[in-house]
Amino acid sequence: MTSTHKPSFIVVGPPRTGTSWLHKVLEPYATLPSPSKETRFFDLNFERGLDWYRWHFPRIQHGPLGEVAPTYFASREARLRIAETIPDAKIIFVFRNPVERAVSLYRLKLAYGMYRWSFQDALREDPELISSGMYWTHLREWRESFSDDQLLVTIYDDLAADPQAFVSSLTEFIGLENVSLSQAQMKRVFSTERMTRPRSYIATRTATAFADWCKTRRLDHLVASVRDSALIKLFLGGGESLPQMPTEITDELAEVFRPEVEGLESYLGRNLEHWRVARDLDESRASRQAFSSSRIPRVECSAR
């Protein structure tokens, strides 16, 4: 993999910040992994080598070569490997209200059958829910590995408010011009598609594990064919509605993230006060449950 065939930019996320939408927007103009969006190379598959990584990109390059990889943000291994392998890369971050983002990630994992835990239990058992929201902690570490002129910090609120302006700022940073969003693309920012629990956790977890197995063996096309067909309905959705979030937990979570938000505010010179107070994340609170104290665990962010 020569220097001309290495990514010149990586959108490192974190997860649930519009990265799937952004991948679709950039795909016609930049050379991105296909058919799978995420290679997980720098955090999970690095030992497979650069040839394995390059295989995921189209052979004919059009526009800058890059990757949208939200799992890299909180991974120390990914950060150090990227810095060593492509030290000149431009790194893009998209930060979202950390409580909303944690809830969204939790719901996604429920929908994909990764676990059945309550939100309280998931916060204790799944470190990613909190670790990937430690924005300032991880951003400081990225700043130690890359110069500030290589980093673009963006805010999800800006994407929601003005998708075209958001995309124009990002594409200018990575060397693309005249990327105009269609009305359909702008509407998809506000997709109202609702996820549910799987109808069968066993079937969904088995399908997810099989998809991961296929991806590591360069069978991404098989995964993509199932994803884009009616067969996907056999594995995703069809179950009960996803749970509502108890106010007690989201309030505590907002306090956990408060120092991270304040650090980001200082760095950006921007008021993010609305991120420091948990908002009502559900349309209804009819089924709130009582929880005991000490619900939010401490997370060692640099351990990943």
So what's the pLDDT on residue 35?
78
What is the pairing mode between strands 90-95 and 9-13? parallel
**Given pLDDT bands bounded at 50, 70 and 90, which one contains residue 296?**
low
* DSSP conformation class of 80: H
Residue 169, pLDDT > 90, answer yes
* DSSP conformation class of 274: G
Portion of the chain with pLDDT greater than 90, in percent:
61
Full-model pTM: 0.83
Q: What are phi and psi of 148, to 5 degrees?
A: -60, -30
So what's the pLDDT on residue 289?
35
* β strands within the chain, DSSP E: 9-13, 66-68, 90-95, 151-155, 196-198, 238-241
So what's the pLDDT on residue 290?
32
Q: Which of 7-11, 114-118, 205-209 has the highest mean pLDDT?
A: 7-11
Q: How many CA atoms lie within 13 A of 75 on its CB side?
A: 22
So what's the pLDDT on residue 239?
67
Amino acid at 90: K
Name residue 10's beta-bridge partners.
67, 91
**Given pLDDT bands bounded at 50, 70 and 90, which one contains residue 292?**
very low
- The answer to whether 72 touches 12, Cβ cutoff 8 Å, is yes
Residue 74, pLDDT > 90, answer yes
Alpha carbon dihedral 153, 157, 161, 166, in 10-degree steps, equals 20
So what's the pLDDT on residue 102?
96
- Mean pLDDT, rounded, for 47-54: 94
Q: Does residue 35 have a cis peptide bond before it, meaning omega lies within 30 degrees of 0?
A: yes
List of domains in the chain: 7-195+242-297 (3.40.50.300)
**Given pLDDT bands bounded at 50, 70 and 90, which one contains residue 189?**
confident
